[in-house]
């Protein structure tokens, strides 16, 4: 079963620990600007939203890559970059509609979320559970149940 990251912006406290641990896991340094996930904030309005790769079914980054350096793993659905093939043209960065493909200015390479070998560190460290790792097919169930509860409460 494919698992995906599920974001719950209402629970996000904006602490950015996801950025922190992501950069340590991948680059062995703390540097939120080299993380694969980013909390976008409108701080003065109290609004926050974690932005990360959606591992799209029909991924524009994969389609646009002239070197076939990006591929989707069948079993997990994770979209990978093959750095042996990548020429650093950043077409994938340009085309990603979520801005989730980014460029590492230290190692000069494109980078994206690879779900940390199946144990996403952002999920592991987010005590508020604003980001969860759930089965793709049932990822909406919690939201559906929550919405149903609201409806029921209104009806009753």
Partner 1 sequence: MAMNRKIAYINLTTGEIKTESISEKIRRLYMGGRGLDMYLLYNHVPKGADPLGPDNAAIVSAGLLVGTLASASSRTHVAAKSPLTGYLGSANVGGFFGPEMRQAGFDHLVIKGKSKKPVYLYINNGNIEIRDASDLWGKDVHSTQTMIQEELNDPDVKSLCIGPAGENMVRYACVITSLKNAAGRTGIGAVWGSKNLKAISVRGTLDIEIAHPLEALEYNKEIIDQVVSAKVSKTMQKLGTPFIWGVTNSTGLVRTRNFQLNQLTHSDDIEPESIEEDMIGTAGCFGCQVHCRGKYIIKEGDYKGTYDEGPEYTSIGAFGAEVGCRSKNTVLVGNHLVNYYGMDNLETGSMISWAMELYEKGILTKEDTGGLDLTWGNDDAVIQLIHMIAKKEGLGAILAEGPLRAAEKIGKESLQYQIHVKGMSNLHSDERPTPALALNVAVSSRGSDHLRGRPAIDLYHLPETFLRARYGNPVPYDGPLTSDFRDYEGKPWQVIWQEICYEAVDCLGICKYHTVFLGPNMPAFDEWVKLIYLNTGMKFTAREIWDAADRAYTMERLFNIREGLDRSQDNLVDRYFDEPVPLGLPGIRGRCIDRKKFAKMLDEYYERHGWDEKGVPKKETLKKLSLEKEPSGLL
Return the number of the residue (29 or 155) whose C-beta is nearest partner 1: 29
Nearest distance from C-beta of residue 64 to partner 1, angstroms: 26
Structure tokens at 72: 């989707």
Q: How far is the CB of 21 from partner 1 (least distance, A)?
A: 6
Write down the least CB distance from residue 45 to partner 1, Å: 6
Q: For binding to partner 1 (CB under 8 A), which residues are involved?
A: 10-11, 13-17, 20-21, 24-25, 27-34, 41, 43-46, 105-106, 121, 124-125, 127-128
- Would you say 33 or 83 has its CB closer to partner 1? 33
* Nearest residue (CB) to partner 1, 17 versus 89: 17
Nearer to partner 1, 2 or 27 (CB): 27
State the nearest-atom distance from the C-beta of 25 to partner 1, in Å: 7
The CB-based long-range contact list for 52-57 (8 Å cut-off, 24+ gap) reads 52/5, 52/7, 52/100, 52/113, 52/122, 52/131, 53/79, 53/96, 53/98, 53/100, 53/101, 53/112, 53/113, 54/4, 54/98, 54/100, 55/4, 55/5, 55/79, 55/113, 55/115
Residue 144: how many CB atoms within 10 A of its CB? 10
Structure tokens at 22: 């992501």
């Amino acid at each position: 079963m494919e698992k995906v990251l599920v974001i719950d912006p209402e629970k996000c406290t904006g602490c950015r620990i996801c950025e922190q641990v992501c950069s340590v896991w991948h680059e062995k340094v703390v540097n939120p600007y080299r993380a694969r996930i980013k909390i976008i904030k409108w701080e003065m309005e109290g609004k926050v939203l974690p932005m990360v790769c959606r591992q799209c079914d029909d991924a524009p980054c994969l389609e646009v890559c002239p070197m076939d350096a990006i591929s989707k793993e069948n079993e997990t659905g994770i979209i990978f970059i093959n750095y042996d093939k990548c020429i650093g043209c950043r077409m994938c960065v340009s085309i990603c509609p979520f801005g989730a493909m980014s460029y590492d200015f230290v190692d000069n390479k494109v980078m994206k979320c690879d779900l940390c070998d199946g144990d996403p560190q952002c999920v592991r460290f987010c005590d508020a559970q604003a980001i969860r790792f759930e089965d793709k097919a049932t990822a909406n169930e919690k939201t559906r149940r929550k919405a149903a509860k609201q409806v029921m409460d209104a009806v009753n």
